[in-house]
Amino acid sequence: MSLRLINALSSPYGRKVAVALKEKAIPFDVTFDVPWGDDTCVAKHSPLEQLPILILDDKTTVFDSSFILEWLEVRYPNPPLLPSDPEQALATRFLKLLGERVMEAIHAIVFELQRAEPSQPFVDRQSRKVRRGLAEIEATIERRHPVAGIEIDIGDIAVGTMLLLVPFLIRNGFVADLEVLRWQVRHPRLAAYANRLGARASFQETVPALMDVDLKSVMA
Ligand SMILES: N[C@@H](CCC(=O)N[C@@H](CS)C(=O)NCC(=O)O)C(=O)O
């Protein structure tokens, strides 16, 4: 079966899927899209009009990064990115959801701050989620035990892609260098963890890159 991934150059959600495909050594082609652009193809392939989207040989599609990771685990179980023990699998899924929800809160801040008059209460609320979510991620990682045969799981992939996107967003001016986003300062152990993940070939080969998008016009 050949797979095509619809991705965006700087999408952390698309990167999650690309990293999982590479960790499983599944060959795939990529089409880079800009989902907010006039020429986007996402609406053709997903009712949610969002990428990432996987297109299969028979043109059926699998979408939403979280679901795609679960789908890959069912269709391509080896090597596993999810422990077989149900309790350990729950722990991995919990870490995954924390990574995903914190990523969404960060994106909410980035987009809100593009508005002419951002809502400070909204930004504060999202910032609390980021702060508390990151602390929960660190505690979750500290208390888990290694699982035999699994070097990296879908929780690590969700958290790693989220953590590593933040400096990219700041460096490229998508968001100001806000204190809430300086997670490396508050969580040095997470920084060491993210560095270890970032050194893997799957992360090195999927480093985010700039895409042609004006976030202000997206929010206009
Ligand atoms: N929950 C979705 C979020 C995906 C998402 O927000 N994708 C962005 C690109 S990074 C997108 O396509 N945005 C266009 C839109 O939401 O209309 C997932 O994990 O796949």
Task: List, for residues 15-71, the tens digit of each pLDDT value.
Answer: 999 999 999 999 999 999 999 988 999 999 999 999 999 999 999 999 999 999 999
Which ranges in the chain are annotated with CATH 3.40.30.10? 4-79
d(CA 126, CA 104): 9
Report which ligand 1 atom has the smallest distance to the Cα of 49: 17
Residue 220 has pLDDT above 90, yes or no: no
Residue 62 CB–ligand 1 contact under 6 Å:
no
Q: CB–CB of 4/29 below 8 Å?
A: yes
Structural fold of domain 4-79: Glutaredoxin (3.40.30)
Q: Can you tell me the distance from the alpha carbon of 167 to that of 177, in angstroms, rounded to the nearest whole number?
A: 9
Q: Find where tokens 């270890």 sit.
A: 196
In CATH, what class is 86-204?
A: mainly alpha
* Residues 141-155 pLDDT 10s: 999 999 999 999 999
> For the segment 79-135, what is each residue's pLDDT rounded down to a tens digit?
999 999 999 999 999 999 999 999 999 999 999 999 999 999 999 999 999 999 999
Give the span between the Cα atoms of 103 and 133, in whole angstroms: 10
Measured in Å, residue 62 CA sits from the centre of ligand 1 at 13
Q: Where in the chain is the domain with CATH 1.20.1050.10?
A: 86-204
